[in-house]
């Protein structure tokens, strides 16, 4: 009996929550000018999911500033609610953000102009590849988060443009990188899901600890993590602090005390092939000096020794990280240059300007295969 009551209560709360989200979505529609071109965005997840926050919700806000009437439909909305919102809004375009959501299949919206956005190598999972291919084929244009993803998408659509994920400018000026304590961090939204990355980070911390004093912070900790995985970090020979998972804007604020951020991309883990700048965005926004793998999109943004360090092997990782932890002047220069380039090239505002061009080309029947950089 108690189980039945709990289930009924949960279902009722869920029902009310869905309707409340729909009403807020309609309120957002009604508050915008009717004469603007209309765009509906379908995120694959909630705002706690970094890609949906940055590539759907935040992009939607920036596109409003660029002259679009934008309706972002919460991922929790049922298919009936989505279709009702679309029927009432009558959008000129629908932007599907990722294909992980069961209602992000294009056949549900076959009478509308579609644009598809993909920023992860989800197609490496055979269970998702069919949906992603369908999204590419049915869309007038595809936006890819990296060149690797663009290459796969181009098999199903000739009009593919690379737009890097943009981050948020900090609400307050970051503190001086030179004045920070030697705090090293690895920020991942799913650290246990990247065992090769985690192994490299732990090995690096152990090696650095032989000659350098510093604190290590592990960001993104969740209660669902395997205790054994967490214990492997807590046993490292330096002070270790775990920081819970948080939304991107809070993550940027929390990094004001961090000196150096790590972004390893071991390519033997296939899913890493689709990675770009997600992990380094909060580093750059908070003026944290970055050491990243010299692979994939990283050398397209980072200039070794100028706005970050690019590491090719383990010895590189050790030497670059040690320099930044122990040389405040070097850290200041690297972090300031990285912040300047981030401001100019890697914010949600800069990404939105590229997406704005793509959407307007689709709206006016213009196709382009040029990469947006």
CATH of the domain at 156: 3.40.50.2000
pLDDT at 275 over 60: yes
For residue 28, CA distances in Å to 18, 24, 72 come to 15, 6, 9
Tell whether 147 and 87 lie within a shared domain. Answer: yes
**Sign of dihedral through CA atoms 343, 346, 348, 351?**
positive
Tell whether 280 and 194 lie within a shared domain. Answer: yes
Whether residue 6 is contained in a domain is answered as no
Range of lowest pLDDT (3-7, 197-201, 239-243, 273-277) = 3-7
Q: What are phi and psi of 116, to 5 degrees?
A: -115, 135
Distance CA 21, CA 28 (A): 11
* 224 Cα distance to chain centroid: 21
Q: 37-68: per-residue pLDDT in tens?
A: 999 999 999 887 778 999 999 999 999 999 99
So what's the pLDDT on residue 26? 84
Whether residue 7 is contained in a domain is answered as no
Q: Give the up-direction half-sphere exposure of residue 359: CA atoms within 13 A in the CB hemisphere.
A: 28
Tell whether 197 and 151 lie within a shared domain. Answer: no
- Contacts with 312 (C-beta within 8 Å, 6 or more apart), sequence order: 294
pLDDT at 291 over 60: yes
Residues β-bridged to residue 71: 40
Distance CA 340, CA 207 (A): 31
Distance CA 195, CA 285 (A): 26
Tell whether 325 and 359 lie within a shared domain. Answer: no
Tell whether 269 and 352 lie within a shared domain. Answer: no
Q: What value does the mean pLDDT take over residues 193-220?
A: 96
CB 279 within 8 A of CB 197: no
So what's the pLDDT on residue 286? 97
So what's the pLDDT on residue 271? 80
So what's the pLDDT on residue 32? 92
pLDDT at 368 over 70: no
Distance CA 120, CA 205 (A): 28
Q: What value does the mean pLDDT take over residues 318-341?
A: 98
Q: 96-126: per-residue pLDDT in tens?
A: 999 989 999 999 998 899 999 999 999 999 9
So what's the pLDDT on residue 278? 84
Q: Where in the sequence is the domain holding 150, given as residue range(s)?
A: 17-166+348-363
Whether residue 371 is contained in a domain is answered as no
Q: What value does the mean pLDDT take over residues 81-85?
A: 95
Whether residue 159 is contained in a domain is answered as yes
Q: What is the mean pLDDT of the chain?
A: 92
The count of domains in the chain is: 2
Nearest to 177, CA basis, from 63, 325, 340: 325
Distance CA 166, CA 348 (A): 4
* CB neighbours of residue 146 within 10 Å: 23
Tell whether 327 and 181 lie within a shared domain. Answer: yes
End-to-end CA distance of the chain: 59
Whether residue 84 is contained in a domain is answered as yes
Q: What value does the mean pLDDT take over residues 276-285?
A: 92
pLDDT at 10 over 90: no
So what's the pLDDT on residue 224? 87
Q: 146-199: per-residue pLDDT in tens?
A: 999 999 999 999 999 999 999 999 988 999 999 999 999 999 888 998 899 999
Whether residue 171 is contained in a domain is answered as no
Tell whether 262 and 333 lie within a shared domain. Answer: yes
Range of lowest pLDDT (98-102, 276-280, 287-291) = 276-280
Confidence label for 7 from pLDDT (cuts 50, 70 and 90): very low
Range of lowest pLDDT (12-26, 107-121, 185-199, 218-232) = 12-26
So what's the pLDDT on residue 302? 98
pLDDT at 2 over 90: no
Tell whether 185 and 44 lie within a shared domain. Answer: no
pLDDT at 3 over 60: no
Whether residue 272 is contained in a domain is answered as yes
Q: What value does the mean pLDDT take over residues 28-41?
A: 94
Nearest to 255, CA basis, from 180, 202, 197, 326: 180
Q: What are phi and psi of 164, to 5 degrees?
A: -65, 145
Tell whether 42 and 90 lie within a shared domain. Answer: yes
- Contacts with 106 (C-beta within 8 Å, 6 or more apart), sequence order: 96, 114, 116, 134, 135, 137, 138, 139
Residue appearing with tokens 């994939």: 296
- Contacts with 63 (C-beta within 8 Å, 6 or more apart), sequence order: 39, 70, 352, 355, 356, 359
CB 117 within 8 A of CB 45: no
Tell whether 269 and 353 lie within a shared domain. Answer: no
Tell whether 261 and 328 lie within a shared domain. Answer: yes
Whether residue 2 is contained in a domain is answered as no
pLDDT at 369 over 50: no
Tell whether 126 and 27 lie within a shared domain. Answer: yes
């Amino acid at each position: 009996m108690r189980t039945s009551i709990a289930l009924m209560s949960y279902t009722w709360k869920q029902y009310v929550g869905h309707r409340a989200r729909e009403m807020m979505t309609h309120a957002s529609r009604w508050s915008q000018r009717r004469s603007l071109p209309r765009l509906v965005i379908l995120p694959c997840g909630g705002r706690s999911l970094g890609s949906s926050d940055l590539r759907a919700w935040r992009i939607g806000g920036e596109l409003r500033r660029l002259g679009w009437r934008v309706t972002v439909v919460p991922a929790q909305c049922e298919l009936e609610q989505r279709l009702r919102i679309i029927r009432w809004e009558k959008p000129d375009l629908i932007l599907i953000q990722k294909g992980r959501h069961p209602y992000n299949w294009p056949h549900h919206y076959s009478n509308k102009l579609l644009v598809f956005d993909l920023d992860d190598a989800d197609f490496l999972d055979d269970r998702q590849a069919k949906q992603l291919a369908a999204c590419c084929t049915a869309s007038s244009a595809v936006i890819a988060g990296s060149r690797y993803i663009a290459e796969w998408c181009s098999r199903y659509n000739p009009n593919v443009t690379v737009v890097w994920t943009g981050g948020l400018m900090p609400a307050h000026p970051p503190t001086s990188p030179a004045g920070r304590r030697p705090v090293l961090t690895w920020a991942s939204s799913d650290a246990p899901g990247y065992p090769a990355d985690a192994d490299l980070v732990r090995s690096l911390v152990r090696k650095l600890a032989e000659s350098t004093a510093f604190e290590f912070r592990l960001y993104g900790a969740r209660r669902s993590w395997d205790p054994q995985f967490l214990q492997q970090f807590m046993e490292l020979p330096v002070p270790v602090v775990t920081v819970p998972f948080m939304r991107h804007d809070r993550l940027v604020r929390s990094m004001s005390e961090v000196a150096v951020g790590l972004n390893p991309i071991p390519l033997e883990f296939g899913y890493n092939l689709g990675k770009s700048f997600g992990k380094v965005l909060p580093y750059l926004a908070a003026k944290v000096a970055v050491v990243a793998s010299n692979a994939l999109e990283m050398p397209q943004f980072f200039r070794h020794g100028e706005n970050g360090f690019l590491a090719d092997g383990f010895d590189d990782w050790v030497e670059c990280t040690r320099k930044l932890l122990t040389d405040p002047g070097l850290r200041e220069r690297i972090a300031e240059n990285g912040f300047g380039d981030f401001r100019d090239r890697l914010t949600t505002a800069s990404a939105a300007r590229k997406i704005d061009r793509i959407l307007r080309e689709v709206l006016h029947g213009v196709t382009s295969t040029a990469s947006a950089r």
